[in-house]
A and B are shown apart, each in its own frame.
Chain A
Amino acid sequence: MIIIAKFILLSLLLIAFLFYLLKVRSKRLDRLLFIVFFLTGFLFIIYPDVTNSIAHAIGISRGADLIFYLAIIFFFFVFILLYSMNKELEKKLTDLVRKDAIENVNS
């Protein structure tokens, strides 16, 4: 029973996360997610046994494993974030250079 519950829970979480990444994203939500991640990390440092409880609840043997998985998800999220910021910068640069090129045509 626990195995099924774990599977369903994880799938739901994953789908929710992907859905967020692909559709709903916004700067505010990004920041909120970031804060949530940090607070969670903070919590885990102060109360390391919590990780074990949560891990067991969803069928992972150790709290350390849970942290590991969460860290992977976190880094993936950060990568997407950084890539977006880079793309935005690139767009600003392009717009600036383009504007200058057209304004100074032939001169």
Chain B
Amino acid sequence: MFSYPVYIVVPSFNEQIEVVSHTITELLNFNPDYKIILVDDGSDKDLRAGLRELNVTVLRHKVNLGQGAALQTAADYLLRLEQELIAVHFDADGQHDVRSIPALIEPLQSDKADIALGSRFLDGSTTLELPVFRKNLLKVARLINGLLTGLWLTDAHNGFRALNRKALQKIRLTQNGFAHATELISLVKKKRLRYCEVPVSIRYTSYSLQKGQRATGAIDILLDLFIKKLIR
């Protein structure tokens, strides 16, 4: 079993600098060998100023493009490194639990999968109870995602993932907005990547819950993807 270098990709748009700083510190405290790639997606305040003492690589979009674009920029950057590696998608707001990372990357370290998808619903490891509205919304999202991508996952919209180099190469995200999650999954199927779901722990703090995801986001995703089918 080979140990590949682990890069933690943290996309961020207008998160409070203290929150981002705390997330990065927590990651480095958990494992100092993790290399942090922060993608500042055109935040109003340039994050680089507040992160100078921390050991983190920052890629900054001069304008906001969307989370999908941020992840793809990090992927392009990492692919320039001539080595086999593991990239972990990790939220900046502290929702993702660092302690879930080892389990998430294990299938990649042992070369059993190309991409590991985190799931909140595999073994009930999510600590806080999800509000009912959110739960039902996720059920609908799961159905739509399953129908659109042909891949039936237990957690359709989980941003906690790990990819190896092959997955990074094969998955080119063209959807800049929230539809990138669905595009990613459909590419996993299309490019025949070996995938697996791994239980991860998500912490819902009052800070992250009030952010949430717009219910209309689902409509944007559908619109984007359906119209895309009409264009070439």
- Report which A residues bind B (CB closer than 8 A): 21-22, 25, 80, 83-84, 87, 90-91, 93-94, 97-98, 100-102, 104-106
Contact of A84 among B59, B60, B174, B231 (CB under 8 A): B231
- Complex Cα distance A105/B60, Å? 7
Within B15-51, the residues touching A (CB, 8 Å) are 39, 42, 48
Measured CB to CB, the nearest residue on chain A to B227 is A83
- Complex Cα distance A90/B57, Å? 26
Measured CB to CB, the nearest residue on chain B to A105 is B59
Interface string of B60-92 (1 = CB under 8 A from A): 111101000100110011001000000000000
* Chain B: interface size category: 20 to 34
- Complex Cα distance A106/B76, Å? 15
Contacts of B230 in A (CB 8 A): 21-22, 80
B231 and A87: CB pair below 8 A?
Answer: yes
Given contacts A94-B65, A98-B72, A98-B73, contact A105 B58 (CB under 8 A): yes
Would you call B176 an interface residue if the criterion is a C-beta within 8 Å of the partner chain's C-beta atoms? Answer: yes
Contact of A98 among B48, B61, B174, B232 (CB under 8 A): B61
User: What distance in Å separates the Cβ of B20 from its nearest Cβ neighbour in chain A?
Assistant: 15
Measured CB to CB, the nearest residue on chain B to A107 is B48
- Complex Cα distance A94/B172, Å? 13
B69 and A94: CB pair below 8 A?
Answer: yes
User: What distance in Å separates the Cβ of A28 from its nearest Cβ neighbour in chain B?
Assistant: 15
Q: Can you give 6 A-B contacts (C-beta < 8 A)?
A: A80-B227, A83-B231, A91-B174, A94-B69, A98-B69, A101-B60
- Complex Cα distance A91/B176, Å? 9
Interface SS, B side: mixed
The 8 closest A-B pairs by CB, nearest first: A101-B59, A98-B73, A97-B61, A102-B77, A101-B61, A84-B231, A94-B69, A106-B58
B65 and A102: CB pair below 8 A?
Answer: no
Given contacts A21-B230, A22-B230, A25-B232, contact A98 B76 (CB under 8 A): yes
- Complex Cα distance A93/B66, Å? 12
Contacts of B48 in A (CB 8 A): 106
Given contacts A83-B227, A98-B73, contact A105 B62 (CB under 8 A): no
User: What distance in Å separates the Cβ of A87 from its nearest Cβ neighbour in chain B?
Assistant: 7
Measured CB to CB, the nearest residue on chain B to A76 is B230
- Point out which of B58, B76, B229, B231 has the most chain A C-beta atoms below 10 A from its C-beta: B231
Contacts of B232 in A (CB 8 A): 22, 25
Measured CB to CB, the nearest residue on chain A to B37 is A105
A105 and B57: CB pair below 8 A?
Answer: yes
Contacts of B61 in A (CB 8 A): 97-98, 101
Measured CB to CB, the nearest residue on chain B to A84 is B231
B227 and A101: CB pair below 8 A?
Answer: no
Given contacts A80-B230, A94-B69, A106-B57, contact A100 B62 (CB under 8 A): yes
User: What distance in Å separates the Cβ of A7 from its nearest Cβ neighbour in chain B?
Assistant: 24
User: What distance in Å separates the Cβ of B89 from its nearest Cβ neighbour in chain A?
Assistant: 17
Measured CB to CB, the nearest residue on chain A to B42 is A97
- Complex Cα distance A91/B61, Å? 14
Contacts of B227 in A (CB 8 A): 80, 83
